[in-house]
Amino acid sequence: MKNFLFLFFFLCFFPVSAFANYEIGNVVKVGKSGENELGTYQILEVEGENHQKVSLDVGDVFKNSASSTFTVGDTLIMQEKNPGEYQFVERYRLPSVFFVAFVFFVFALFLAKKRGFFAILGLIFSFLVIFLFVLPALQNGTSALLVGILASTFIVGGSMVITHGFRLSTFLAVGSTVAVITFAGILAIIATKICWLFGIGSEDTLQLALGEIGNGDFRGIFLVGVLLGTLGVLDDVTTTQVSAVIELKRANVKMDWKELFSRASRIGEEHLVSVINTLVLAYAGASLPLLLLFSSSTIPWWVLLNSEMVAEEVIRTLVGSMALLIAIPFSTFLAAKIMGPKTEKYFQNENPSVGCGHTHIL
């Protein structure tokens, strides 16, 4: 979901002037191609947006890459370095990306119907918070931890209300999530300090440093990343637990808060096992090339594990998992204490409608 929406929002909020010397070109002729000491290459004749034809020398160190298999009719992005002098940037693939995004939206609306629509609105709201608040604040050197906590609060509050509507269960889930994400922030600070992590374990951080973006607080940027990554799974856990408590109460309105807490906790334990595994697999999948590189290395495993590049991913996973561990009992306890005293009449008066703009009881 994030993979294909990220590019859309990036294009919407990135300064337009940054694209002034970029344009889309169509390949009208493929000339000489082959391999040299630097890899594969092709000589292309490309027609730009102003119908001017230019020659591009396209190459890559990879044999089967996006820049080594052009045919007539393909489109690409090129950049004008000097007047009349262009260089290849990347294949033009946005139409295909947007098509896949459209298919996703159709799936969401068809399978989840009204809930799917409001879930998409909640997702858009989350991206707005990231691009309109988080990124500008970090670029201006604002305290990263403060940015992370505020952003998490805005995202979980806004997206949950949009998705689930104004009802008690929503606000219980929001309160639980904000409390646990604050705990995760404190835990992340302690972990990064005792493990001597400075947030410089990735190539992306090096690019930020060279571009002099922000105030150089890369540890803080790492912390914000941990919180946002954890939040993506945390809101699912708290929402599920609150819903479990309410459904148990609906099934037996005479159940007191202690029994509600006990029964819902057993549900949460089953959910937690799969969620933690999901979190670990998500980070492993994102870091698979790095893991493959390390698996073929001659460096001892403990030296690799000690490196900041790997240690950051380990701490990211462990902090997120500990936040999930505390989220289960905390959200369950909060919901059970509030729902325990409710009567059968309360449930009979609830409004079953769903979505933003409706008033709900549960």
Looking up residue 243, the CATH number of its domain turns out to be: 1.20.1640
Nearest to 153 by CA among 137, 175, 120: 175
Query: Does residue 147 sit in the same domain as residue 73?
Result: no
Give CA–CA dist 239/122, Å, rounded: 14
Query: Does residue 86 sit in the same domain as residue 121?
Result: no
Give me the helix-helix angle, 218-251 and 144-164, nearest 10°.
Answer: 30
Query: Does residue 204 sit in the same domain as residue 67?
Result: no
Query: Does residue 264 sit in the same domain as residue 156?
Result: yes
Q: What is the number of residues in the chain?
A: 362
Output the tens digit of pLDDT for each of the chain's 362 residues. 444 444 444 444 444 334 458 889 898 988 777 666 556 778 888 888 888 888 887 876 455 555 667 888 889 888 888 887 888 888 898 999 899 989 988 988 888 888 888 888 888 898 899 999 998 888 887 887 788 888 988 998 888 888 878 888 888 899 999 999 989 989 999 999 998 888 877 767 767 766 666 566 788 888 888 888 888 788 888 988 998 998 888 888 888 888 989 999 888 887 777 777 777 777 777 777 777 777 777 778 778 778 888 888 888 888 988 898 899 899 999 999 888 775 555 565 554 444 444 444 56
| 362 located within any domain | no
User: For residue 139, what are the domain limits?
Assistant: 114-348
Give CA–CA dist 218/206, Å, rounded: 10
> pLDDT at position 347, please?
60
> pLDDT at position 191, please?
92
Query: Does residue 88 sit in the same domain as residue 137?
Result: no
Give CA–CA dist 186/319, Å, rounded: 10
Contact 134, 327 (CB under 8 A): no
Query: What are the residues whose beta carbons fall under 8 Å from the beta carbon of 277, sequence distance 6 or more?
Result: none
What's the number of domains the chain is made of? 2
Chain centroid, CA 291 distance in Å: 21
